[in-house]
Chain A
Amino acid sequence: ELKVEQNPLFLSMQEGKNYTIYCNYSTTSDRLYWYRQDPGKSLESLFVLLSNGAVKQEGRLMASLDTKARLSTLHITAAVHDLSATYFCAALLLIQGAQKLVFGQGTRLTINP
């Protein structure tokens, strides 16, 4: 079955701590996306990762991609309250001859003062 799985689904952490969200996908993908969603809002694009070993950083967030392991990570450094949101990864997967964006379940991140 073609799928994208995130771990953990819920994450509550203290400000200042580091943590990592994992995203596994079940088949070869050309690209991997990370999005942020605030309550009641649509998706905000964070990163797109295009190749094995790709690493991108923006502020306290860093995303990486290991295409051999079919794994992407989103690392949060010294978390602050403003990063509280739901984070989705999405992999572009070939499904029945068409490239489709398949989303993970989402990781609900709560950062406590």
Chain B
Amino acid sequence: GAVVSQHPSRVICKSGTSVKIECRSLDFQATTMFWYRQFPKQSLMLMATSNEGSKATYEQGVEKDKFLINHASLTLSTLTVTSAHPEDSSFYICSARRGNQGYQETQYFGPGTRLLVL
């Protein structure tokens, strides 16, 4: 099966610092990657969709200058939380989709990154 990895699995940082989270598709090429955020005991909320080589599409209410997404290759997308604040503490999950059949392809989810901002 398709494998998606995330790094780091958890990170603690001070308020005001920036944190980068990597999402990799290990055994397939992902034309499209998705970033979700999950607050405790809540559902997953889509933050943005990124396509390789183009700008990410952000969901309403998600600040693109705060959550920088780079999808530089078919196997790697990064999410940078800039000037993180305690309210950004959350579980961030990426998902990757193969490219050859568009939305009909299954999304494969990474293991998630738990961010705690002090």
Contact = CB atoms under 8 A, between A and B. Distances in A.
Interface string B37-61: 0000111111001000000010000
Instruction: Tell me the interface secondary structure of chain B in the complex.
Output: strand
Nearest to B114: A40
B107 A42 contact: no
Contacts of B67: none
Contact of A106 (B43, B49, B93, B112): B43
Interface residues of B, number: 22
Contact of B103 (A40, A99, A105): A99
Contacts, number: 42
Instruction: Tell me the interface secondary structure of chain A in the complex.
Output: strand
Contacts of A41: 111-112
Interface string B14-58: 000000000000000000001000000111111001000000010
A100 B57 CA distance: 12
A25 interface: no
A37 to B, nearest CB: 9
Given A42-B93, A106-B43, A101 B110 contact: no
A88 B102 CA distance: 23
Interface in A37-54: 40-43, 45, 48
Contacts of B83: none
B34 A42 contact: no
B49 A42 contact: no
Interface in A45-80: 45, 48
Contacts of B49: 98, 100
B94 to A, nearest CB: 9
B46 A101 contact: yes
Interface of B: 34, 41-46, 49, 57, 93, 95, 102-104, 106-112, 114
